[in-house]
Structure 1
């Protein structure tokens, strides 16, 4: 095989590799784990909230009587809210969604007062409640387990869910536990990936 043929073969190989690189589907950094059916719940700051709003959402469950995990998580989400606001994507592209597990005790007034303790901006931090049946159905769709205990306490999973603008679950995160805060850096990185359209 002469040098000219080798050169042509080499060039064809390079062109082929470049074509594969540029035209092959991008490696999906955040694969679709599952799709969540749309739902509508009462927004305690007014109106009805619909999941079908073409925004990226970080969904977490809470109840206002929670003594530890929920308030610690909300403190970390308050920091995340500030970071999203700084990026200019809070409310218009990305929302924080908090769903009460205890609609019996978590009235709109109670939740609003609770949200104020975390300086929550209702523009992009949505505080939701529904009937016990609706709450259970939504939790089941996300495979989120919870159970009411004695008094006003609940045992519940500690998973948060990152949904893309088509309501696909793209990542899971742990809520805050004792000295282990939520990983806001990782969450922001994943949100950036979704915004960039990977």
Structure 2
């Protein structure tokens, strides 16, 4: 799941274009947008702090990928960037999917 921090700019059509550029498999990935309050509430529920700046940009504390199970429980937080281990992430996703 990806949640926009900027729902005024990231309309469903714009967010879909982003997903297409990133090669997202929509069968297992959702792009969430809504009102600014709704997206802020979702971010907050995951412990992500987002602040809108005066110039309209956003700052946030997200430097990680959250693996969340079907019950909404965060199973693991993976660091993003150079140390991101995609093979480990895929292995854990498959393991969760198989344990339905």
Runs of 4+ with deviation above 4 angstroms: none
Deviation sequence 1:109-158 (CA, Å, 0-9, x none): 21122222122232222211011111111111111112122434221122
**TM-score normalised by length of structure 1:** 0.44
Asked if residue 162 in structure 1 is aligned to residue 67 in structure 2, the reply is yes
Contact 1:144 1:159 in 2 (8 A): no
**TM-score normalised by length of structure 2:** 0.80
Distance 1:126 1:182 in 2: 21
Give structure 2 stretches of 5+ with no counterpart.
none
Asked if residue 126 in structure 1 is aligned to residue 40 in structure 2, the reply is no
Aligned twin of 2:39: 135
SS at the partner of 1:106? coil
Distance 1:195 1:123 in 2: 13
Structure with the larger RCO, 1 or 2 (CA within 8 Å, 6+ apart): 1
The number of residue pairs the alignment matches comes to 98
Asked if residue 193 in structure 1 is aligned to residue 82 in structure 2, the reply is no
